[in-house]
Chain A
Amino acid sequence: NAGVTQTPKFQVLKTGQSMTLQCAQDMNHEYMSWYRQDPGMGLRLIHYSVGAGITDQGEVPNGYNVSRSTTEDFPLRLLSAAPSQTSVYFCASSYSIGYSYNSPLHFGNGTRLTVT
């Protein structure tokens, strides 16, 4: 059981380049989300999705796009990378958004992105 799989593990971009961070889960989870982790800032929610075809913004959505065409996949797109987007990105999923019902988030192992 793979859980939540993120690719790539590492990426270096130049300012202005675009790229897509991939996230796939095999647990048939309806809820998926993207977080970024920065020193002293903890984990901040970028975008989330409560099901295929439905997405919404989190705390820090600017500069990122998402779409959810299938239950399994939730890619994160950087259209024009900026040095401020240097971070570790985590994708997560859960059975539902009702965290109180034995449905904690399952995280992938992260993508470390550097923008020069």
Chain B
Amino acid sequence: DQQVKQNSPSLSVQEGRISILNCDYTNSMFDYFLWYKKYPAEGPTFLISISSIKDKNEDGRFTVFLNKSAKHLSLHIVPSQPGDSAVYFCAASGGSSNTGKLIFGQGTTLQVKP
């Protein structure tokens, strides 16, 4: 049972445009959500996070939106740059059954074309 889903395996955008990466979750007990970015041959690195008490969090070009009623979060990158080309994972934690566990989605490969 995939508790965190990223239904788009890949996304391609032009440099300077907006990239929108989506993530859905099924467990209503999740209370914290994170996005990680991964380059080839490297480990994932933390990008941005959001608590369930918020619906938006911004950090520079990156904004995460959370819609709790729809159990959906999205990552917006504006403007997109070629260096943003990577695999993006969303992750969630929370709830007594998930103590100590960070559950990841399948990942979305973003390609930003110059």
Check if B104 sits within 8 Å of A31, measured CB to CB.
no
Nearest CB of chain A from residue B91's CB, rounded to whole Å? 8
- A104-B89 contact given A56-B100, A97-B99, CB 8 Å threshold: no
Interface size grouping (class) on chain A: 20 to 34
Q: 8 Å CB contacts to A: which residues of B35-51?
A: 36, 41-46, 49, 51
**Contact between B43 and A108 (Cβ–Cβ < 8 Å)?**
yes
Number of interchain pairs (Cβ within 8 Å): 66
Residues from chain B with a CB closer than 8 A to the CB of A31 are 100
Mostly helix, strand, loop or mixed at chain A's interface?
strand
Contacts A42-B105, A99-B32, A99-B34: A50 and B100 contacting too (C-beta < 8 A)?
Answer: yes
CA of A96 to CA of B2, assembled, Å = 25
> A100: CB under 8 A from chain B?
yes
Q: Is B27 an interface residue (CB 8 A)?
A: no
> How far, in whole Å, are A99 and B107 apart by their CA atoms in the complex?
20
The answer to whether A35 and B104 have CB atoms under 8 Å apart is yes
Q: Do residues A105 and B46 form an inter-chain contact, with CB atoms below 8 A? A: yes
The interface size bin for chain B is 20 to 34
A42–B106 contact, CB under 8 A? yes
- Nearest Cβ in chain A — how far from B5, in angstroms? 9
Set of chain A residues within 8 Å of B4, measured between Cβ atoms: 42
Task: Indicate if A40 sits at the interface (CB-CB under 8 A).
Answer: yes
Residues of A with C-beta under 8 A to B105:
42
Q: Check A2 for interface membership: any CB of B closer than 8 A.
A: no
Of chain A, the residue at the smallest CB distance from B35 is A104
**Closest residue of B by beta carbon distance from A112:** B41
**B44 with A97: CB separation less than 8 A:** no
Q: Which of A65-115 contact B (CB under 8 A)?
A: 90, 92, 97, 99-100, 104-110
Contact A41 B101, beta carbon cutoff 8 Å: no
